[in-house]
Each structure stands twice: as structure tokens, then as C-alpha cells.
Chains A and B, each alone.
Chain A
Amino acid sequence: MAETLTVPKTKSGDGGGGDFVDQSFGDYGSGGESQKRADTAKLGLRIALGSVTMLFAAFTSAYIVRSAGEDWIPLAAPSLIWVNTVILLFSSVTMELGKRAFESWRPVAFRKWIAVTAVLGALFIAGQVAAWNQLASQGIYLQSHPHSSFFYVLTGVHAVHLLVGVLALFYVLMLARRYELTPGESSSPGVVATYWHFVGGIWIYLIVVLFYL
């Protein structure tokens, strides 16, 4: 794979196929190559987030339509999700601290905050599973009634998105440990941070939709 001309292995160094962000060609006229690449990655992420937004918008419209049904029984929020919410909000703070540490090039702090964020993210997902168990122990299952169905489906889809974020954090961490990230050049920390905040925002949005709409 690395034989293909597309992967400038010596330059961005990641070699493998994971970081699509850094694999674009660099020939855009004079200088500013890495700057352009970062812009491309940022733009790509923003557009991808547009798609994710549409996914949740579609679920929301389905939710609104379905909630008009006669069999709609409002679900009480399992108490654990509030703990999870606090964890997720806190992880956004650590993510931001990590990103700033990267920008001002304090590599040790950067790695520390990224690791903390990843652990908090994993904790959130574990907490969500616990919240599902909490509901199930009350006898409220996926198929019990439409509100519970939506709760399980929407939190599940959100958890998948967050899992992608956790994996991306581990990837950034791996790059950082290999000394392959340079402030002002490498785009992945900034891109992952934006994604992380976005998925956090989606969670707040889901809470509002699920329990305050």
C-alpha cells in the first residue's frame, strides 16, 4: 500500500491508511502547503458534520411525528444520564485544554489532556450502557413503547458517534507519541477537538429533544 504514490510517507509519516486528513497532495503553487492541507481537513470535517446534523434532524422529525401517536407514554429520564452529561461536559473542557496545549506546544500537557479526554469519553459510553441497564431493570425495554424505543436508538446512535471520537483521540495520541504532530501544521488535534465538541453538543440537543420537548 505504501508503494502508491499517493501516500507521501516520508513527509507526513503516518504511512498507514488511517489518517486521510494528511494524505492530500501538496502541490498548490507556492508555499503554504501544510496550511492548505489543514484547511482541507477542517473543511472536510465541517461538511461531514453537516451530514451528521442531517442524520439527527431526520431522527428528530421522526420523533416529533411519532410522539403524536396515541400510544406515546413519556419516559422519565434515567438518573444516570445526568452523571454522564457532567462527564461529557467535563471532557469537552479537557479536550479544549489539550488543544490549547498543542497550539502553544506543551507536548506533555497535550498528551495528558488528550488521554484524559479519551478516558472520559469511554467512561461516558460505559455510563450510557449503565443507564440502559437502569432502564431495563425498571422493565422498560427497547420495544416497550415508542419513547423508550427512541431513547435507546438515539442514545445508541450518539454513542456510536462518540466512539468514533474516542478512536480518533487514541489515533491523535499515537501520532503524538511518535512525535509526528507539529503545531501550526498538523490538523488532526484541531479537527478532533471540533468533532468532540460537536458530538457533545448533539448530546445536549438530544436531552432537550428527548425530555424537554
Chain B
Amino acid sequence: MSEGHDDHGHGKQSFISKYIFSYDHKMIAKQYLTLVMFMAVVGGSLAMLVRLQLGWPGQHAQFWETLFPAGMAQGVMTPEFYVMLFTMHGTIMVFFVLSLGPVSGFGNFLIPLQVGARDMAFPFLNMMSFWTALPGAIIILISFFVEGGAAASGWTAYPPLSAIRSAIPGSAMGQTLWIVGMIFFIASFTMGGLNFVVTILNLRTKGLKMMRLPLTTWAQFLVGILGLLAFPALAAGSILLLFDRGLGTSFYLPAGIFIGDTLFPHSGGSPLLWQHLFWFLGHPEVYIIMLPALGFTSDIISTFTRRPIFGYRSMVYAIVAIAMLSFVVWGHHMFVSGMSPFLGTAFTMTTLCIAVPSAVKVFNWLATLWMAKIQFTTPMLFALGIVSFFVTGGLTGIFLGTNVVDIQLHDTYFVVAHFHFIMAGAGLFGLLAAVYYWFPKMFGRHMNERAGKVHFWFTFIAYYGVFFPMHYLGISGMMRRIYDPNTYDYLKPFQNVNTFISISAFILGLAQVIFLANYFWSMFKGKKVESENPWHANTLEWSTPIHPGHGNWPGDIPEVYRWPYDYQHPDEEGDHAPQWQPPAKVKAAK
């Protein structure tokens, strides 16, 4: 049994056990990525509608009414529809695209391959994890079609808006489904994280010490821990929210809430309590999204500069530090909540500390790139894009992490710009870089390079076109969730900027069509991979056959002799020595 995990065994598997209720981590990863792609199209389309409204507030073409008879009657978008759009855009993108893609998708695909394991530690749990995420996604999608529409209280679901069912149309059934969908998501993510941590700790192949792990796997390891420790806080918060919504408790709801003429019987609850619980998850969640992207970046930069990553140990310590600090900074999302200035200063201090390990990472990447002969492949371009976004978004993070400055910038477009660079941008580019880089391992074919480069340049430039001007809008006082900026005279002069952003956003959206076409075309028609290690990389996944079967290696699992960054090693022949290649001295002795 232990030797039989090769391709030949697949002939016996039924369609259902191979493609649907699969235990194979690689197939589960592909299921996740397919789900993510679908959710990304939905989430992206919502963003396009947001930009349609902000670019040209007021009257839109009549034809929109046929698509959204209630939300855009006679071509005019209702405010209720607008708040639902950005709420669901944020929810879908943060949880069902940027978490499920790089973590559940690529974590599943890469961890067993990179640590030299036949599968995850608990394959059944792994399958359950996907089959919990999928109902969660479906519930979130169904919520668009219930009375009142989907949730509309922002992706942060602050009470009272999220806790009183009659507050706004989206507070009704849509918000309930939002919470239920999130609980499914949390369950899925927790099962996944458990698998990640146990697999990495316990199933590493012979010779693979923790300090020989690729930085991608290090990142996934920390993401697993972050998810396991942070998501329970949101689970607890969501349970209390459900009780407040449906069962008349007052955890979050204070006394004296009127909706219309109705006085609600709640008393004494604290809306801030939700904010604390939410952001105790919310901030680690940012790193759950970002750390995998940073790991991919390190591995891809090393491969395409043909150089060891600069400062491997400091890279590991940096992400460990970032992960630990992420638990003590959540208050910086709440500087305007009436928090004591002393506490605010404490949160400012812990937040600014994150700049140190972040800067370590950037300088290590720059040192790796310095004077290197860079191969500008598509995954490398996206990895460099991440470095760029990480710097842009990281610098604005220092502004927003400082309480005195944040009070001015809080809930403006400056914040929107910031997190779209640091979290969304780095996360999205990480996902794209990973797809381009590991596509040959997933499907045995290459993606089209030319289309990939066109996709990169359109995406990269349009991304800056969308989000860079938002900094100025934010400093000028444009509110984050505003439906029509022209309501205020002082925002009228910025309408041109908003129109420019919207046009850039549409270009950004269209550019993704190139990616989707390339992905599906390459899956069936792409150039076939000729060797198992097409990028001449060092990590263990490239020692598997071109089409690894269930069990990953047909024979024994290879032993690991070195770290994953032995490029241009003076003692070794060739320009790289993969992890499974014995040192030259050992080879000579044999």
C-alpha cells in the first residue's frame, strides 16, 4: 500500500472519488482554486459596479434596470444597493478569494509537496474543509437573492447595523446568511489550519529541518497558527451577534435604539465589543492573506535571480515577528472609537514595530535582486509587483498606524488605498504569481508567457491607476463608504479623479479576462512541460513526476540534504543544487 501511490492506481477511482470527494491534497487545492476563481469574478464584478456609481454618480444607462430591477430602477443606483455592493465585494474578496486562494488553495497544493509528505496529515479533514467552504460560499451567494438583498453593513459587520434586522434592507435575511456563511468559512479555515500545522511539524521528510523549509511553507505554517488562534474570536463574536439578532439578548445593542417609531428593548450592550472581537481576528487576517504572498515572492525571486535568498534566517524571524505582532495591534482599527489616548499610543507603538520586520523583508529582497541577472518571467514580474505594492502600502500603513494621523484619515479613501495595496494588492499578485509559477506542476503545461506579460503590465499599471489617486481623495476628505461624493460641494472638484479611477478599474477588470482565458486555454492547449523541473528550482515539489499521482512520489520520498536556496553554489556543478541532491562530497564518496 505504501508504495502504490502512483498514477496507475487512478484507473480504479470513480469520477466522484477522484474529482469531487477527493482526499488528494492536489485535487482539493484545484477545487479551491476553481471556487476562488468563480468568487473572484463575482467579487470583481461588484467592484466594477461600485466604480460605475462613483465614476458617474446619478444616472446610468437604462439597460442596468434589466439586470438589477430593484437596485438600479430606471438606471439609478439606490444607496441601499450601493452599500450592499461594497459590503459583499469586501467579504467575498477578503475571505473567499484572498484567504481561500493563497492559503487553502496553494497551501494545500504546496505543503505536502514541499515537506515531502504523501498527503496532508488528516486527508479526510482536508476534504471536509473544502466541503465546508463550498456551502459557506454558496450561502453567501444565495444571500443576493433573498428579500432585502445581501448584507450591507460593510465587510466588518458593525452592530447595530448588523444586529437589528429592520435597520436597513440588507440587515434582514442577507445579514443572517452572511453570519452563517462566515461560520462555515471559519470552520473550514480552522480545519485547514490544523492540517497545515500538523503536516509541517510532523510529516517532514528525512533531513528536512524547520530551518531548511522553503519560505513559502514557513509562511503557510504561520498562517495556520494565525488562523487557529484568531478565527475563534470571530466565531465567538458571530455567535453573540446571532443571539442579538434573533434571540433578544443585548451583547452589542445599547439602550435607546429607535428604528422608525419602534424603540428596541435592548439595554446596556456595547457595539465596541464586536469591534474588539472582530479586529482581534481582522488584523491577523490581513497577515493570513499577506504572508503566503510574501513567501511566494521570496521563492520566486530566488529562482529567477538564480541566487540564494538574502538573509534566509532573518526572513524567517521577520515573518514570525510579524505573525506575533499581529495579535497585539488590532486597536489601530479603532482609534476613533473613543479609545483612551494612552491605549491608542500603546497600539501605535506595537503597530509601528511591524515596520521593522517588514523593512527587513524588503531589504532582503532588494539585496537578492541587486546586480542579479534577473529572468523576467511572468511569475517573476508578479513577484516584483508584490515588492512594489508592499512598499507603497507599507508606507501608508505607518501613517494610519499612528493614532494622531489616523484620526484625520480614518474611514477615508486613504484607508481604501492603503489596504488595497498592502493586503489586496500583495495578496492578489501573490495568488497570480503562484498560479503562473506552479501551473506546470498543477497541469503539466505552461501558461502562455506572452499573454501572461500582457496581463501583468495591464494589471500592474491599472492597479496603480485605480488605487494611487485614492490617497489624494482620502487626504481631501472623501469618505470611505460614500454613495455619491457630489453630495458635498468640497468633493465636487474631485469628480474627474473618480472618473479616472473608474476607467482604470474597468481596464483592471478587463485585464483579468486575459488571465482567465490564458488559464483555461493553457490547461488544455498550453505548451507541455518537458522535464519535472521546468524552472530549474530547488524546492522539493519539483522532484515529483510531471503529473504527480496520489502519493506524490512513485517510489520512496526523496531525502533532503540542503536548504532550498543553493543557487550558484561554489562546490556544486551547474547553477543550482536542488534540496534532494546530495552534497558533492557525499556523492563522490558513493
Q: Could you list which residues of chain A lie within 8 angstroms of chain B, going by C-beta atoms?
A: 1, 3-8, 10-11, 17, 19-21, 23-29, 36, 39-40, 43-44, 47-48, 50-52, 54-55, 57-59, 61-62, 65-66, 69-72, 142-143, 146, 149, 153, 157
Contacts and interface: CB of A to CB of B under 8 A. Distances in A.
A1 B14 CA distance: 9
A150 B233 CA distance: 16
B517 interface: no
B236 A58 contact: yes
B202 A39 contact: yes
| Residue of A6, A44, A66, A69 with most chain B CB atoms under a 10 A cut-off | A6
B339 interface: no
B270 interface: yes
Given A48-B194, A70-B268, A146-B251, A4 B22 contact: yes
B203 interface: yes
Contact of B122 (A23, A65, A143, A149): A23
B265 to A, nearest CB: 8
Q: Which of B128, B232, B235, B247 has the most C-beta atoms of chain A within 10 angstroms of its own C-beta?
A: B232
A1 B198 contact: no
Contacts of B272: 65
Interface residues of B, number: 64
Contacts of B269: 66, 69, 146
17 contacts: A3-B17, A5-B550, A20-B123, A20-B128, A23-B122, A25-B5, A28-B203, A39-B202, A47-B228, A51-B190, A55-B232, A57-B233, A65-B270, A66-B269, A71-B250, A71-B255, A149-B243
B240 interface: yes
B438 interface: no
Contact of A153 (B128, B240, B280): B240
Contacts, number: 159
Given A5-B4, A25-B551, A149-B249, A54 B121 contact: no
Nearest to A156: B239
Contacts of B267: 71
B237 A58 contact: yes
Given A10-B1, A51-B194, 14 more contacts: A5-B13, A5-B551, A24-B122, A25-B5, A40-B203, A51-B232, A54-B230, A55-B232, A57-B232, A62-B236, A62-B273, A62-B277, A146-B269, A149-B251
Given A51-B194, A51-B228, A61-B276, A4 B23 contact: yes
Contact of B12 (A3, A8, A17, A61): A3
A153 B239 contact: yes
Contact of A23 (B2, B123, B550): B123
Given A20-B124, A24-B119, A143 B232 contact: no
Contact of B232 (A17, A52, A69): A52
A192 to B, nearest CB: 16
Nearest to B10: A5
B28 to A, nearest CB: 11
Given A66-B273, A143-B247, A51 B229 contact: yes
A11 B122 CA distance: 16
Given A6-B23, A47-B198, A149-B249, A71 B268 contact: yes
A40 B195 CA distance: 10
Contacts of A157: 239
A95 to B, nearest CB: 23
Contact of A11 (B1, B232, B249): B1
Contacts of A61: 276-277
A50 B123 CA distance: 21
Contacts of B2: 25-27
Given A1-B17, A6-B550, A149 B203 contact: no
A3 B198 CA distance: 25
